[in-house]
């Protein structure tokens, strides 16, 4: 064969291109990133004769994996005779201290995949990794024909950094049916999270059936229907129908708990008291300081105006909670019950004769000490049901209950204080973990408040230097409050991909963090979500618009930025739509005379990738005043 210089050059380019493509295809895009991964030559081909072998004790894990495989492939995996390839799940004969109770080792060879673990949870997480090693089409709910189901050969040793890796879903502000609650649990389990915090009660709805207190769901689970911005809504009218809401029967709860257990997820129930209790008071007004009547809140402003707290001076409040927590404890097998304790307005306690008598009888000096008295009574009840109590960091005020675990949300301070008192802590500061916040420029996002970018999630470290003994930090979680989340599709949008970042924070070694590497892996998982029809935000690709105030000249300039540095930003001030022929952003911008808007758009490799963001100059001026 006559190799001309042109053919040699072309062949060289083809080889380089194929090598580059091969490298991209064989680098496993795993989230969270494993502790140790070694890439090997070759690949494992999953086919209809592949054998799935597991001991009887691990039958449920094998069946769950087989079900996930069957939908997109059509393969029925089992211990079939004559198969040429094998997937084996096995428990270590000798305990491997390195990987602990939730870790695993994964060895993928051309004809055999072996997942080893000390406990079934480790096998489950190993199988989730195998799923991520398969092509993205494995996420399809329908059969994909003529697809080669190839898994790259690797050796993985993996185990979590923290034992508590959670997501919270608020179902009080908006009720989500049990089917989508299970879907949420399934997704967090795929990313090796192991706690589902279920915020079941609040001012806007009581969502759990308590059989001894039927009015909680007959009355407290329903409110008038409203749209519009939260806290800007009109109160429920006197004769207006309360037909928006819903609740979970105890059978529903059992079904969800069982579903979670099969995925090694613990469900943490939250009954938020003594504040955030308006839905309960609508059902049982005598438990308040003022006596009512009350209506379940619809999203109108009421804090500090309407009484929404249980009366700690009324002994019936504790009888009520004894009934509630007794039934809750029987439904949830996890070791904790979360009692809230946050944002309790104490103004009505100050003028309540029962509360004042309680303070005198118990020698309590302040309303904070009265709340502490209430919380300590809650701990006594919780312990009597065989559980441990958890609460938001406000339970520190007035004195912490003896054995309480603190969930620190107002920054890290509460967690640091509790850990120094030798209490266990879950770190979930709003600045890093509140998934209801804006994740991109507010002009390009559905309305909410404050800001939490993807990089802020990824850069979070649950262990601050001020804690002398890190073992008191059990882990952390992301929280999705639902005031501005009226649908499950939007819950997905607000959760992903920020929960990808948090899953890696809670599982992967701190020293392995690499933002650019994470973004590359995230992009692969967004493609998987496209196949699975799961919603997510692409806000990380959008530009942020920041006004920079010049106090001397009483003017401001405009800074544009992106979280992903490889993006280019183009802008216009002339009310036209920007593209990659418009001015390209390089440095802060002055505002042309007469301009009333700025529009920005991001590009990657000369192709648009982000949303077009439009902001008026007046709105930017307002931002300088915030």
Q: What are the catalytic residues? A: 202, 276, 343
Phi-psi region of 299 (alpha: psi -120 to 50; beta: other; left: phi over 0): left
Q: Are 315 and 287 in contact (CB under 8 A)?
A: no
Q: Where are the alpha helices (DSSP H) in 446-604?
A: 454-458, 488-495, 498-507, 515-532
126 is written with which tokens? Answer: 């190993």
Q: Compute φ and ψ for 475, nearest 5 degrees.
A: 155, -145
What is residue 93's three-state secondary structure?
coil
Residue that is written with structure tokens 């769901």 in the block: 217
Q: Are 498 and 436 in contact (CB under 8 A)?
A: no
588 is written with which tokens? Answer: 């802060």
CB count within 10 Å of CB 485 equals: 24
Report d(CA 234, CA 34) in Å as an integer: 50
Report d(CA 58, CA 121) in Å as an integer: 10
Which among 132, 250, 115 has a CA at the least distance from the CA of 187? Answer: 132
- Dihedral Cα 438, 297, 231, 197, nearest 10 deg: -20
Query: Which residues neighbour 238 within 8 Å (Cβ) at sequence distance 6 or greater?
Result: none
Read off the DSSP letter of residue 470: G
Which among 471, 384, 462 has a CA at the least distance from the CA of 423? Answer: 471
Report d(CA 128, CA 123) in Å as an integer: 9
b/e 404-428 (16+ beta carbons within 10 angstroms → b): bbbbbbeebebbbbbbeeebbbbbb
Which among 348, 328, 331 has a CA at the least distance from the CA of 339? Answer: 328
């Amino acid at each position: 064969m006559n190799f001309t210089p042109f053919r040699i050059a072309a062949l060289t380019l083809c080889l380089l291109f194929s090598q580059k493509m091969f490298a991209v295809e064989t680098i496993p895009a795993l989230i969270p990133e494993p502790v140790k991964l070694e890439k090997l030559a070759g690949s494992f081909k999953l086919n209809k004769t592949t054998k799935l072998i597991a001991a009887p004790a691990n039958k449920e894990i094998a069946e769950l994996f087989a079900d996930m495989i069957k939908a997109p492939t059509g393969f029925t995996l089992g211990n079939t005779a004559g198969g040429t390839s094998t997937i084996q799940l096995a428990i270590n004969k000798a305990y491997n201290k390195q990987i602990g109770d939730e870790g695993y080792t994964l060895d993928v060879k051309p004809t055999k995949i072996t997942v080893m673990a000390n406990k079934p949870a480790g096998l489950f997480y190993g199988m989730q990794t195998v799923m991520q090693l398969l092509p993205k089409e494995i996420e399809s709910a329908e059969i994909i024909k003529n697809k080669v189901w190839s898994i790259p050969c690797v050796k993985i040793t993996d185990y979590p950094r923290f034992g508590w890796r959670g997501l919270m879903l608020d179902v009080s502000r908006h009720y989500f049916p049990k089917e989508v609650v299970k879907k949420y649990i399934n997704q967090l389990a795929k990313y090796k999270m192991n706690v589902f915090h279920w915020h079941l009660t609040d001012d806007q709805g009581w969502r759990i059936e308590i059989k001894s207190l039927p009015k909680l769901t007959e009355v407290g689970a329903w409110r008038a229907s409203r749209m519009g911005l939260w806290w800007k809504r009109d109160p429920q009218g006197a004769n207006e129908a309360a037909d928006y809401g819903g609740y979970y029967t105890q059978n529903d709860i059992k079904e969800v708990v069982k579903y979670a257990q099969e995925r090694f997820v613990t469900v943490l129930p939250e009954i938020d008291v003594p504040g955030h209790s308006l839905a309960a008071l609508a059902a049982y007004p005598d438990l308040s300081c003022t006596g009512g009547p009350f209506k379940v809140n619809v999203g109108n402003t009421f804090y500090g105006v309407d009484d929404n707290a249980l009366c700690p001076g009324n002994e019936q409040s504790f009888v009520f909670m004894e009934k509630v927590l007794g039934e809750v404890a029987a439904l949830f097998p996890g070791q904790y019950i979360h009692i809230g304790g946050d944002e309790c307005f104490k103004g009505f306690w100050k003028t309540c004769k029962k509360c004042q008598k309680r303070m005198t009888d118990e020698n309590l000096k302040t309303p904070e000490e009265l709340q502490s008295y209430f919380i300590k009574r809650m701990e006594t009840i919780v312990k009597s049901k065989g559980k441990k109590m958890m609460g938001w960091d406000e339970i520190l005020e007035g004195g912490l209950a003896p054995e309480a675990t603190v969930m620190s949300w107002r920054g890290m301070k509460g967690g640091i204080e509790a850990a120094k008192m030798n209490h266990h802590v879950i770190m979930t500061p709003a600045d890093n973990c509140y998934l209801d916040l804006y994740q991109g420029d507010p002009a390009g996002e559905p309305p909410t408040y404050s800001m939490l970018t993807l990089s802020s999630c990824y850069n979070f470290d649950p262990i601050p230097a001020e804690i002398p003994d890190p073992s008191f930090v059990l882990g952390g979680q992301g929280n999705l409050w639902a005031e501005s989340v009226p649908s499950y599709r939007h819950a997905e949008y607000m959760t992903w991909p920020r929960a990808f970042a948090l899953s890696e924070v809670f599982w992967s070694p701190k020293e392995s963090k690499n933002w650019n590497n994470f973004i590359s892996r995230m992009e692969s998982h967004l493609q998987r979500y496209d196949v699975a029809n799961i919603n997510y935000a692409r806000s990380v690709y959008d530009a942020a618009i920041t006004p920079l105030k010049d106090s001397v000249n009483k003017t401001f300039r405009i800074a544009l930025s992106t979280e992903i540095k490889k993006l280019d930003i183009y802008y216009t001030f002339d009310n036209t739509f920007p593209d990659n022929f418009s001015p390209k952003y390089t440095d802060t911008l002055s505002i042309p005379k007469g301009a009333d808007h700025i529009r920005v758009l991001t590009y990657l490799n000369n192709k648009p990738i982000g949303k077009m963001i439009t902001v008026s100059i007046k709105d930017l001026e307002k931002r300088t005043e915030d």
